[in-house]
């Protein structure tokens, strides 16, 4: 998630902006920049890479302006580069903006602007916004009206900071679905996408509300709604220390990122779902749809990844087989290239990597390319190696993940797999229009259902407080739930160091049941109504041998009464898509067990966020 800062006051803006951006480095970024109003002009300085490179770039300059905006970018449209870095400017340089979020209708807006003679310099969606503001400004001769008008044209999520050289006394900002905070100082005011950037200067803030604008001057701040009407709100006083502020009030990044999943899924989904004139989802769109022909003639899907990303691939196996009726092989990337795999040039090869730099996954990708396969990469990092070397790339748009144990990256990977399976099903004629609409409609409801689970997290927290000292934890499930069990067991191992394993439920009696005793916790995941009797029998088997049993299910028929010690109910969902819901309670359970055992869930021992060696 990008970092936005802004300043209006009497001090040198450039250093204030740089220092404020440093406080947002924890969010992750790939480039940085500032725009300062000085002597009836806007000075823009930006570059790819760390903030220190921006500091070096301006070290020998004297930029005297006292009004400006700054940005650290996490790439979503266009690879990390000097040109794609923010701020972006109008063609004549009179207006400059910074942006956090995604403009969903940027492609059609860009085409219209280009037809009118606008020349674009970058690959970003953001540049559309500054050109639209400039066009409106030339018509109205009022920068506030211009910004307000554009907010009713662009679609998506955004926080914006805007400066105009003809209005050198102010910064305009607004937000829709992306956070923005206004810091209130003495003869100076600030904007920031998160509180840490402000704490050096003030603890009195306005939290800009959904669809609200603000105009910041040196001595006051005016607030408005998207209709241009003035609004009044009381400032808040920040009591957090810096560490807590960086985490948005959460104790750890892991729990913060668990809570960010509804937004991450929404951001990943919305630009890719095509709707008809009535707002009904009808199809899936990926950039240029350039793999459509390959999907139609593919014999098989081969998925390779490591760790959590591999588990997303296991979920995808069930999804492609069920939705697109395609043969699927899923491989651990570290094994793939050493077993002389049998590959066909008509196979679709999918690699999944949060960082896009995983060494084993890259090796597998290159082997597939050598064998003439078309490669699709699913990654969270624009411009990463897998995204550059693949034939097609799907970005998860989860935003940077700080905690080592992956949560929001996993669920967005699974979502992308579902979207791919639906797309493939439609292209190959195995998925009817009616069923596609049903699946896409239900996918759109998933973020809200996840929020419902998060709102009831105290149940999992209390359960963890009673079970964190168990010697063995087994996760069991069938079909999609078996795949979710793999990820659930890994998450618990990673952050709590508890011994946990996952088994297909039907395999219990073929060996693992020998380990069951009264020091064992069994977590049964049950989202498939047709298999409730089967998984219920497995629960009875382990409970009769002394195990404590938790079942995570959407059942409302009391199918598991008497078979489990605790039932955690998730919102109703089709069993096809339920993997996006059932994993949330297990993420929470892993987090709370780590806390109970006194471990830092953000930095598990011996683990690294990106594994760049074999």
Query: What digits encode the pLDDT tens for the residues 344-376?
Result: 999 999 999 998 888 899 999 999 999 999 999
| Rounded-to-5 percentages of helix, strand, coil across the chain | 40, 25, 35
In this predicted model, which residue has the larger pLDDT, 12 or 1?
Answer: 12
Per-residue model confidence (pLDDT) at position 284? 87
Give the residue among 403, 401, 363, 364 at the shortest CA–CA distance from 380. Answer: 401
Is 80 exceeded by the pLDDT of residue 527? Answer: yes
Give the model's confidence band at 377: pLDDT under 50 very low, under 70 low, under 90 confident, else very high: very high
User: Catalytic: 46?
Assistant: no
Going by the DSSP 8-state scheme, the letter that residue 566 receives in this structure is E
Q: Which whole number is the average pLDDT over 299-322?
A: 96
pLDDT at 74: 83
Q: What is the pLDDT of residue 453?
A: 97
pLDDT over 60 (residue 1): no
Q: Residue 613: is its pLDDT beyond 70?
A: no
Could you please report the per-residue DSSP string of 255-306? HHHHHTHHHHHHHHHGGGEEE-TTS-EEEE--GGGTTHHHHHH-SEEEEEE-
Residue 75's pLDDT band (cuts 50, 70, 90): confident
pLDDT tier for residue 611 given thresholds of 50, 70 and 90 = low
Closest CA to 473 of 434, 401, 533, 521: 521
pLDDT for 267: 92
Q: Give the whole-angstrom CA distance, residue 215 versus residue 547.
A: 61
Q: Above 80 in pLDDT, residue 26?
A: no
Backbone angles phi, psi at 551, to 5 degrees: -115, 135
The pLDDT assigned to 552 comes to: 97
Instruction: Name the residue among 301, 296, 287, 285 with its Cα closest to residue 373.
Output: 301
| Alpha carbon 122 to its chain's center | 23
Q: Among candidates 184, 182, 169, which has minimal Cα distance to 213?
A: 182
Contact 64, 71 (CB under 8 A): no
**pLDDT beyond 90 at 5:** yes
Question: To the nearest whole number, what is the mean pLDDT of the chain?
Answer: 93
Task: Enumerate residues 6+ apart whose C-beta is below 8 A from 381.
Answer: 75, 354, 355, 356, 357, 387
- Greater confidence (503 vs 607) lies with 503
Give the residue among 177, 248, 250, 260 at the shortest CA–CA distance from 450.
Answer: 260
Cα separation of 167 and 596, whole Å?
54
pLDDT surpassing 80 at residue 290:
no
For this structure, is 609 an active site residue? yes
Interhelix angle 261-269/433-455, rounded to 10 degrees, is 160
- The DSSP code sequence of 116-155 is TTPPP-SS-SHHHHHHHHHHHHHHHS-HHHHHHHHHTT--
pLDDT of 408 higher than 50: yes
- Kindly state the average pLDDT of the residues 282-297: 83
Mean of pLDDT values over 328-357: 92
Q: Are β-strands 300-305 and 212-216 bridged in parallel, bridged antiparallel, or unpaired?
A: unpaired
The 10s digit of each residue's pLDDT in 458-514 is 999 999 999 999 989 999 999 999 999 999 999 999 999 999 999 999 998 899 899
pLDDT, tens digit, 9 for 90 and up, residues 80-105: 899 999 999 999 999 999 999 889 89
Q: In 10 A of CB 579, how many CB atoms?
A: 30
* CB proximity list for 528: less than 8 A, separation 6 or greater: 478, 479, 480, 481, 575, 578
Give the C-alpha separation, 586 to 592, whole Å. 10
Measure the CA–CA gap between 216 and 187, rounded to whole angstroms: 11
Q: How many other C-beta atoms can be found within 10 angstroms of the C-beta atom of residue 606?
A: 6
**Which is higher by pLDDT, 284 or 300?**
300
CA–CA gap between residue 27 and residue 248 (Å, rounded): 11
SS in 3 state form for 493-519? HHHHCCCEEEEEHHHHHHCHHHHCCCC
Residue with structure tokens 């305009």? 172
> What is the predicted pLDDT for the residue at 323?
96
- 612 has pLDDT over 50: no
**Whole-Å CA distances, 22 to 55, 198, 241, 606:** 11, 11, 16, 28
Rounded distance, CA 184 to CA 260, Å?
27
Per-residue model confidence (pLDDT) at position 609: 64
The secondary element (H helix, E strand) that includes residue 32 is: strand 31-38
> Which one is catalytic: 327, 369, 543, 609?
609
The string of pLDDT tens digits covering residues 118-160 is 999 999 999 999 999 999 999 999 999 999 999 999 998 899 9
Catalytic-role residue among 2, 47, 174, 416: 2
Who has greater pLDDT, 496 or 283? 496
| Band of residue 217 on the pLDDT scale cut at 50, 70, 90 | very high
- pLDDT > 60? residue 298: yes
The yes-or-no verdict on residue 582 having pLDDT over 80 is yes
The pLDDT value recorded for residue 554 is: 94
């Amino acid at each position: 998630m990008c970092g936005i800062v802004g300043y209006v006051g009497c001090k040198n803006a450039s250093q204030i902006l740089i220092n404020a951006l440093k406080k947002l480095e924890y969010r992750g970024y790939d480039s940085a920049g500032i725009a300062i109003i000085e002597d009836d002009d806007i000075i823009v300085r930006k570059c790819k890479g760390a903030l220190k490179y921006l500091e070096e770039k301006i070290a020998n300059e004297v930029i005297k302006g006292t009004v400006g905006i700054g940005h650290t970018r996490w790439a979503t449209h266009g690879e990390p580069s000097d040109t794609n870095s923010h701020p972006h400017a109008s063609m004549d340089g009179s207006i400059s903006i910074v942006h956090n979020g995604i403009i969903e209708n940027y492609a059609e807006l860009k085409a219209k602007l280009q037809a009118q003679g606008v020349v674009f310099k970058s690959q970003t969606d953001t540049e559309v916004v500054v050109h639209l503001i400039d066009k409106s400004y030339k018509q109205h001769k009022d920068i506030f009206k211009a910004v307000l008008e554009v907010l009713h044209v662009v679609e998506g999520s955004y926080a914006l900071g805007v400066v105009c050289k003809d209005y050198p006394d102010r910064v305009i900002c607004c937000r829709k679905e992306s956070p923005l905070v206004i810091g209130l100082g003495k003869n100076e005011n600030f904007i920031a996408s998160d509180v840490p950037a402000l704490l050096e200067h003030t603890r009195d803030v306005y939290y800009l509300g959904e669809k609200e604008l603000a105009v910041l001057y040196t001595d006051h701040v005016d607030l408005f709604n998207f209709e241009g009407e003035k609004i009044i709100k009381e400032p808040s006083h920040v009591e957090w220390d810096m560490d807590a502020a960086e985490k948005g009030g959460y104790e750890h990044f892991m729990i913060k990122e668990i809570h960010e999943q509804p937004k991450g899924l929404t951001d990943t989904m919305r630009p890719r779902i095509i709707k008809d004139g009535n707002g009904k989802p009808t199809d899936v769109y990926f950039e240029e749809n350039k793999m459509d022909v390959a999907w139609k003639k593919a014999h098989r899907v081969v998925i390779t990844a490591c760790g959590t990303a591999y588990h997303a691939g296991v979920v995808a196996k069930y999804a492609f087989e069920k939705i697109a009726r395609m043969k699927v092989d899923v491989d651990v990337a570290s094994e793939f290239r050493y077993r002389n795999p049998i590959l066909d040039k008509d196979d679709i090869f999918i690699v999944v990597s949060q960082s896009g730099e995983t060494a084993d996954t890259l090796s597998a990708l290159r082997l597939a390319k050598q064998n003439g396969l078309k490669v699709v990469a699913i990654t969270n990092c624009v411009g990463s190696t897998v995204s550059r070397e693949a034939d097609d790339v799907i970005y998860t748009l989860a935003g940077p993940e700080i905690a080592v144990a992956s949560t929001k990256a996993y669920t967005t990977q699974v979502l992308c797999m579902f979207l791919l399976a639906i797309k493939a099903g439609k292209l190959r004629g195995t998925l009817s229009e009616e069923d596609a609409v049903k699946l896409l409609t239900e996918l759109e409801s998933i973020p809200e259902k996840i929020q419902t689970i998060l709102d009831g997290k105290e149940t999992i927290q209390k359960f963890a407080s009673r079970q964190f000292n168990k010697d063995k934890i087994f996760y069991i499930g069938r079909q999609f739930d078996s795949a979710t069990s793999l990820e659930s067991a890994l998450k618990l191992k990673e952050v709590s160091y508890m011994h946990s394993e996952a088994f297909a439920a039907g395999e219990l009696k073929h060996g693992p049941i020998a380990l069951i005793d009264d020091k064992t916790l069994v977590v049964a995941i049950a989202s498939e109504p047709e298999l409730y009797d089967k998984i219920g029998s497995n629960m009875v088997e382990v409970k009769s041998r002394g195990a404590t049993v938790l079942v995570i299910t959407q059942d409302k028929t009391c199918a598991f009464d008497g078979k489990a010690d605790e039932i955690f109910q998730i919102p109703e969902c089709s069993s096809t898509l339920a993997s996006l819901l059932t994993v949330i309670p297990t993420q929470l359970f892993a987090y709370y067990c780590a806390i109970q055992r006194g471990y830092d869930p953000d930095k598990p021992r011996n683990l690294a966020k990106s594994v760049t060696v074999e």
